[in-house]
Amino acid sequence: MAKLLLLTLVGLALALLRDHRASYQKRMNAFREVTPMDLPNCHFIKGINSGAEDLEILPNGLVFISAGLKYPGIHSFEPDKPGKILLMDLNEDDLAVLELNITGYNFNLSSFNPHGISTFTDKDNAVYLLVVNHPDIMVTVELFKFQEREKSLLHLKTIRHKLLSSANDIVAVAPEHFYATNDHYFADTQLQSWEVYSGVAWSYATYYSPENVRVVAKGFDFANGINISPDGKYVYIAELLAHKIHVYEKQANWTLTPVKSLDLDTLVDNISVDPVTGDLWVGCHPNGMKIFSYDPDNPPASEVIRIQNILTEEPTVTVVYADNGTMLQGSTVASVYKGKLLVGTVFQKALYCELEQPSAQPH
């Protein structure tokens, strides 16, 4: 009898493990291979070789890039170097990046580990840069003011809060007001891989202002990118391991009301929003296994999708660029400016492409 019970329990455990394994493989999209989708005019951006995890383009063509992320369990080509913020000007013919100097008291440059970034431009055209930082595997949000003439960032403030304890990405609505996703990856360094493995969906989004901090959406299986529509009415959240983009309506009191969700066949990382058309551009990982365990012989692929008319019954989803990792590994973010596309990656290079072929010169 006892033996029978034992056999039943072993059988049950094996069945649970099998189901869990199947659901883990599904969450990771473990069997997905990409069909390459080339763009005719792409170049690597000189000077970026250890990641461009996040980037944001200002309306005048200046780009801020967060580079050199160290993320537990994820590959890095420069594990001993602090991260940095790079600047690039898309109006120049020969694109080059410049490392921004960081000034200000009490800012530890040697532990700078920038992750998601967001900018805010005030009515006097002052530009603020908000950066999710992981100094020594902790989590802070750093507020900087961009000094354009000096090409530097003045550090103004470090923000810490228990509802930002595992912040990943951020979208600013004022210098000290923002929404952030918490991926729950940094919540407990011992448990982090267990959480990703088990799929407990403890990840959430927070609204932060100096007077009021609260959870505005929760129950995500790794909430990742977050962004806002050009009219400020909708907030978009990428749920990495559920392969979904969620749309929320932003209320006057900053509460988020669910509107709809879009299912995709890829791990959705960052969302950027075209300020002109409102289209969403998403940097994606087609197959999560390859990003979470790096193998140079079988590198993670890259995929960029564009979502048009997300609020309508039938949004148009287009794969604009896809590569099996031969060129570009582990894309996280894609953003457009005047017919040009920038694609960043977790730990490798960044790509610059012309979306439209220059029209033939008239004779």
Ligand X SMILES: *[C@@H]1O[C@H](CO)[C@@H](O)[C@H](O)[C@H]1NC(C)=O
Closer residue to ligand X in complex, CB, 102/156 = 102
Nearest position to ligand X, beta carbon: 116
What is the smallest separation between the CB atom of 363 and ligand X, expressed in angstroms?
A: 36
Closer residue to ligand X in complex, CB, 117/353 = 117
CB–CB of 315/305 below 8 Å? no
117 annotated ligand-binding residue? yes
Q: Which residues make beta-bridge pairs with 89? A: 62
What is the smallest separation between the CB atom of 135 and ligand X, expressed in angstroms?
A: 6
Q: Secondary structure of the chain in the HEC alphabet?
A: CHHHHHHHHHHHHHHHHHHHHHHHHHHHCCCCCCCCECCCEEEECCCCCCCCCEEEECCCCEEEEEECCCCCCCCCCCCCCCCEEEEEECCCCCCCCEECEEECCCCCHHHCCEEEEEEEECCCCCEEEEEEECHHHCCEEEEEEEECCCCEEEEEEEECCHHHCCEEEEEEEECCEEEEEECCCCCCCCCHHHHHHHCCCCEEEEEECCCCEEEEEEEECCEEEEEECCCCCEEEEEEHHHCEEEEEEECCCCCEEEEEEEECCCEEEEEEECCCCCCEEEEEECCHHHHHCCCCCCCCCEEEEEEECCCCCCCEEEEEEEECCCCCCCEEEEEEECCEEEEEECCCCCEEEECCCCCCCCC
Closer residue to ligand X in complex, CB, 111/121 = 111
159 annotated ligand-binding residue? no
Closer residue to ligand X in complex, CB, 20/218 = 218
What is the smallest separation between the CB atom of 56 and ligand X, expressed in angstroms?
A: 6
53 annotated ligand-binding residue? yes
Closer residue to ligand X in complex, CB, 206/227 = 227
Residue type, 112: F
80 annotated ligand-binding residue? no
Of the listed 75, 115, 155, 184, which one is catalytic?
A: 115
- Whether 177 is catalytic: no
Burial of 154 (0-12, 13-18, 19+ CB in 10 A): middle
Quick one: tokens of 270? 């960052």
What is the smallest separation between the CB atom of 75 and ligand X, expressed in angstroms?
A: 14
Phi, psi (rounded to 5 degrees) for 247: -115, 130
Closer residue to ligand X in complex, CB, 176/290 = 290
269 annotated ligand-binding residue? yes
263 annotated ligand-binding residue? no
Q: Which residues bind ligand X (CB under 6 A)?
A: 36, 53-54, 56, 101, 108, 110-111, 115-117, 132, 136, 150-152, 168-170, 224-225, 227, 251, 253, 255, 269-272, 298, 324, 326, 332-333
Angle value at C-alpha 206, between 57 and 235, nearest 5 degrees: 50
What is the smallest separation between the CB atom of 170 and ligand X, expressed in angstroms?
A: 6
What is the smallest separation between the CB atom of 55 and ligand X, expressed in angstroms?
A: 7
User: d(Cα 163, Cα 167) in Å, to the nearest integer?
Assistant: 8
Closer residue to ligand X in complex, CB, 202/240 = 240
298 annotated ligand-binding residue? no
Phi, psi (rounded to 5 degrees) for 83: -75, 175
182 annotated ligand-binding residue? no
What is the smallest separation between the CB atom of 96 and ligand X, expressed in angstroms?
A: 12
Binding residues: 53-54, 117, 168-169, 224, 269-270
Binding residues for Ca(2+): 53-54, 117, 168-169, 224, 269-270
Q: Which residues participate in catalysis according to the annotation? A: 115
